Chains A and B, each alone.
Chain A
């Protein structure tokens, strides 16, 4: 307990330093460097122009342009920081941040501090949105970067990722990053003011809200299955698995074998050479004679109808012509009659 308090306070002090760090960055010293650079290239440009040195003038102009750009960037950055500070009504202190961490321990089941990685992690309870179970999430604040945009990760502990949308663990979380939406100003302000308790509550509430108008994957499609053939998303209860290889397919992309009445993927289904009916590769057998594939009803004892017909025809041709037993004696008799 005593160690936990110590650890919380140490974290609070470090967070305060991270927040302070940015305030110091608004000091004017880095403007001085920028202005010196601008003046320097301005002088070079004047000199090159006077002496009519076109190459040197071009170079000086480019460099002056670059130096002015940096000055402009630094100015914009400082104005942004000033705006942030003027909007802040609470000045963070280490004591205040410490109280915030203490309060988090009352609000969330698990609050952990990883001092070496400068990370404060809170675990949410399990989240279900519109009947879709998304499980619990870790909200990890990387306090070293507390003044930067989105200095936190949102990690699904029991990820239930939809078939479509890689790395999506929540309608508003992709690659462990939350799209803050309408919460972004409140998050920024809470962090700037060291109100960690509010920050974690806001993120928790965003995770408990579904905005169907802007989601990485719609909850309606969450439990869907991607047809491996056409790529469409279909409801999991409407998807079909190939009876042989278990590839998941939509109705249109699966073929029913006319022989066994199971459904198959394109790879595992074919058709009978003779009648043209759809048949799976298990039901199709090759003819012992020609080797082509046929459905069970087109094979008799391992031979296809064509080969059977050919065989019969061959047999008929090969048979020696039998003399008609009745003819000869009659002829003989007939011949003998006139004789």
Chain B
């Protein structure tokens, strides 16, 4: 299946990735972004709040927004 993965961390990349069926949100993150801490991110699947163990489906849009993004002065 194909999923749109958006990582709103420093780079803010959005790209389409191939994933095996039954991939969860967390597996998706670990495979493409890095070590995952569920409580450090706002997780949204198709712009709706989602849990880390939610199973993704073909065509889903999954986004990770860090809970801590440091502004400056």
Contact = CB atoms under 8 A, between A and B. Distances in A.
A interacts with B: yes
Interface stretch (B18-26, B30-38, B50-58, B63-71): B63-71
B46 to A, nearest CB: 8
Interface in B1-49: 4, 6, 8-16, 42, 44, 47-48
A209 B73 CA distance: 13
Contact of A209 (B4, B13, B15, B71): B71
Contacts of A103: 47-48
Interface stretch (A54-62, A64-72, A176-184, A267-275): A176-184
B10 A171 contact: no
A188 interface: yes
A119 interface: no
Contacts of A198: 6, 8, 12, 63, 65
Contacts of A181: 69-72
A216 B73 CA distance: 5
B13 A189 contact: yes
A211 B72 contact: yes
Nearest to B4: A90
For chain B, give the interface size range: 20 to 34
Interface residue range, chain A: 35 or more
A215 interface: yes
A182 B69 contact: yes
Given A201-B8, A202-B8, A183 B16 contact: no
Given A103-B47, A202-B65, A209 B12 contact: no
A217 to B, nearest CB: 9
Contacts of B8: 186, 190, 198, 201-202
Contacts of A186: 8-12, 69
A100 B44 CA distance: 12
Contacts of B15: 89
Given A205-B65, A206-B70, A182 B10 contact: yes
Contacts of B44: 197, 201
Contact of A185 (B11, B66, B72): B11
Nearest to A198: B8
A131 interface: no
Most buried by A among B9, B10, B47: B47
B47 A183 contact: no
A214 B11 contact: no
A115 B15 CA distance: 32
B73 A89 contact: no
Interface of A: 89-90, 99-100, 103, 106-107, 171-174, 178-183, 185-190, 193, 195, 197-198, 201-202, 205-209, 211, 213-216
Interface of B: 4, 6, 8-16, 42, 44, 47-48, 63, 65-73
13 contacts: A99-B47, A172-B71, A179-B72, A179-B73, A181-B71, A185-B12, A186-B9, A198-B63, A201-B65, A205-B67, A205-B69, A206-B69, A216-B73
